């Protein structure tokens, strides 16, 4: 998957759009653009344009840890032990936004992106929250049309969307023109997400249920497999990138940032292994 700027599998999926196709492209400065008119995109950027399909009728989009799945006929899941939270969506041009509360105090409106690996916050938002970048901050690879950038990864104390709240949510610091931020899967992948584009509603169903032999720790096999796969693939990409920068004698700063990223994700993978062991997750779910 590819997000407008993001590393190897970070993608944008706006299945909830209600009017035709939308074209997404990034200029040489890394600036994100949306348009519904292909002729407005400079020719040199057209080979890299991503087309976002808009539905022609009401539909539900479901997001699981393994990625978004589009459905048109399935009813909402049974509540059982899964808590449901309904939040309002705000349409702006061809996208949807929702209200978020960061670290329990800062209210903003984020683009809802059910395919993005991480949540995004802007540099001004990071500053307002007292988050600063130093020599220990991990960085991840960011791709624009003309360059590869390294973007800082931080951890927010909390994100609340409606009555759904998570602690310790990873986010990348990247300023999106015209938008305050983006709500991605570092928050959304803890929920089953359904989006009603016609009525402007998003429903979040917690993926954590009652622990059982087939749901160790309360989570399904798909959840555990996707979590381990994500960390393994991220580490593989960072190590590949490290080998590239090691061949550049002038890339000392970039190499330090990549090494920070490797150490960070090795630690997170170790923590995931620890939690999986305590929950009794089978070994073949952790590969």
Confidence (pLDDT) at 267: 96
DSSP-assigned beta bridge partners for residue 195: 61, 202
Query: What is the CB-side half-sphere exposure of residue 121 using CA atoms within 13 A?
Result: 29
Confidence (pLDDT) at 131: 95
Phi and psi, residue 209, nearest 5°: -115, -155
Structure tokens at 227: 């979590």
Confidence (pLDDT) at 27: 66
Confidence (pLDDT) at 89: 95
Q: Give the C-alpha separation, 201 to 89, whole Å.
A: 5
Other CB atoms within 10 A of residue 9 CB: 15
**CA 113 → CA 63, 98, 247, distances in Å?**
10, 11, 36
Confidence (pLDDT) at 198: 87
Confidence (pLDDT) at 216: 95
CA 144 to chain centre: 17
Confidence (pLDDT) at 105: 94
pTM for the whole thing? Answer: 0.70
- pLDDT by position in tens, the chain (length 287): 333 333 333 433 333 333 445 666 666 655 566 666 677 778 777 777 776 544 443 444 444 444 444 444 445 544 444 578 999 999 988 889 999 999 999 999 999 998 888 999 999 999 999 999 999 999 988 665 555 678 999 999 999 999 999 999 999 998 888 899 999 999 999 999 999 988 999 999 999 999 999 999 999 999 999 999 999 999 999 999 899 888 887 778 889 999 999 999 999 999 999 999 999 999 999 98
Considering all CA atoms of the chain, what is the largest pairwise distance in Å, rounded to the nearest integer?
58
């Amino acid at each position: 998957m590819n997000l407008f700027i993001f590393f190897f599998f970070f993608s944008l999926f706006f299945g909830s759009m209600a009017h035709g196709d939308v074209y997404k492209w990034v200029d040489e400065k890394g600036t994100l653009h949306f348009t519904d008119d292909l002729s407005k995109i400079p020719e040199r950027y057209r080979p890299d344009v991503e087309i976002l399909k808009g539905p022609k009728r009401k539909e539900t989009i479901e997001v699981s840890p393994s990625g978004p799945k589009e459905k048109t006929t399935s009813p909402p899941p049974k509540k059982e032990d899964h808590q449901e939270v309904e939040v309002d969506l705000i349409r702006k041009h061809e996208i949807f936004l929702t209200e978020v509360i960061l670290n329990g105090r800062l209210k903003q409106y984020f683009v809802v992106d059910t395919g993005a690996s991480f949540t995004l916050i802007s540099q001004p938002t990071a500053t307002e929250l007292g988050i600063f970048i130093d020599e220990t901050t991990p960085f991840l690879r960011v791709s624009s049309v003309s360059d590869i950038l390294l973007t800082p990864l931080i951890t927010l104390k909390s994100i609340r969307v409606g009555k759904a709240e998570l602690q310790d949510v990873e986010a990348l610091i990247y300023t999106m023109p015209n938008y305050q931020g983006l709500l991605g899967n570092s928050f959304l992948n803890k929920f089953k997400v359904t989006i009603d584009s016609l009525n402007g509603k998003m429903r979040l169903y917690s993926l954590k249920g009652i622990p059982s032999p087939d749901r160790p720790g309360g989570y399904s096999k798909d959840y555990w497999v996707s979590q381990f796969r994500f960390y393994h693939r991220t580490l593989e990409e960072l190590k590949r990138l490290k080998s590239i920068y090691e061949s550049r004698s002038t890339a000392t700063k970039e190499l330090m940032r990549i090494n920070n990223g490797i150490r960070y994700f090795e630690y997170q993978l170790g923590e995931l292994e620890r939690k999986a062991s305590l929950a009794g997750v089978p070994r073949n779910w952790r590969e």
